[in-house]
Amino acid sequence: MLLNIIAVLAGFGLLIWGADRFVAGASATASNLGVPPLIIGLTIVGFGTSAPEMLVSGLAAWYGNPGISIGNAIGSNITNIGLVLGITALVVPVSVHSDTLRREFPLLFLFMVLALWLISDGYLGFIDGLILIIGMFAMIGWVVMIGLRSRKTDPLKTEYEEELSETETMSSGKATFWLIIGILVLLAGSRGVVWGASNIAIAMGVSDLVIGLTVIAIGTSLPELAASITCVMKGEHDIAVGNVVGSNMFNLLGVLGLPGLIHPFQIPAEALSRDFGVMVILTITLFIMSFGLKNNSGRINRLEGGALLAAWCGYMFWIYVTSV
């Protein structure tokens, strides 16, 4: 058991570091090619912070642990809202003003409906996975389009310009080096996490789904937690929420779709009856908190952040009660 725990912890460490190097290398490469900062932030950074989830889910399906895949996809979305934004708002209340984010939220709801429709029969097949992966690329194209059309004064655009101006300037060769190293480290970390987590599930007598919803979801959401807290400490509130919204869209499409392409599998009944519903409720709650009902800006204060964190803790307790 100790070896399995060490493998999971070491894997998470590699995932965090690898994702950071991947994002740094990819962002520098795009910047050297003249890609606008907002587009880099909305696509490369969003994909990079979701890379741990995608690789863990893909490898889990490859090695015959599909429960980890579905648990990671849904659990990461729940953790991003409840744990990540909950803790972030407790550190610094989060204010949201971006029109770009306002346009992304309908996409998030659309992809939730699409994912639910595809898995509502209790099976994630190859065609289902293909549709979700195609949806991911369509989402990237749509995000690029709305990013290019955004106002020059959009707070999200200004924040990404300031954030990327502070990053290390790299030559194309150095950027490519870190991009490749990041991918390799992510693969190694993902393998360690999947191997250790699957063994822990067997030893504890719990399902792969539970491990995916809890241990894996928390571990792979650590990059979002670190990024969100760092952003709000620097006053970049829209990026903090944007990271979560973007990551959740990638989770619904890429993280859920990739296992379907690799190893089609039956969806555990509780994933639909319990976990997907919790994800939808928390997403609607985030929308209401972020944008309000009567004005064009919202604020997630410490009380609301505490409520999100309490909801996540209650959900973890619910899983514990129903799985023992």
C-beta contacts of 4-8 below 8 A and 24+ residues apart? 4/195, 4/196, 4/197, 4/199, 4/200, 4/203, 5/196, 5/200, 6/196, 7/192, 7/193, 7/195, 7/196, 7/199, 8/192, 8/193, 8/196, 8/197, 8/200, 8/215, 8/219
Provide the residue-wise pLDDT of the chain in tens; the chain has 324 residues: 778 888 888 888 888 788 778 777 777 777 777 766 667 766 777 777 777 888 888 888 888 888 888 999 999 999 999 999 999 999 988 887 766 667 778 888 999 999 999 999 999 999 999 999 999 999 888 877 776 776 666 666 666 666 565 555 677 788 788 878 888 888 888 888 888 888 887 788 888 899 889 888 888 887 778 778 877 887 777 777 877 888 899 899 999 999 999 988 889 889 998 999 999 999 999 888 877 654 545 778 899 999 999 999 999 999 988 876
* 96: three-class secondary structure by DSSP: strand
Domain 39-152+193-323 has CATH 3.40.640.10: no
* Distance (Å, whole) CA 88 – CA 309: 10
Can you tell me which residue has the tokens 């979700």? 132
Domain boundaries defined on the chain: 39-152+193-323
pLDDT 10s digits, 244-261: 888 899 899 999 999 999
pTM: 0.84
What pLDDT does residue 310 have? Answer: 96
* Distance (Å, whole) CA 117 – CA 30: 35
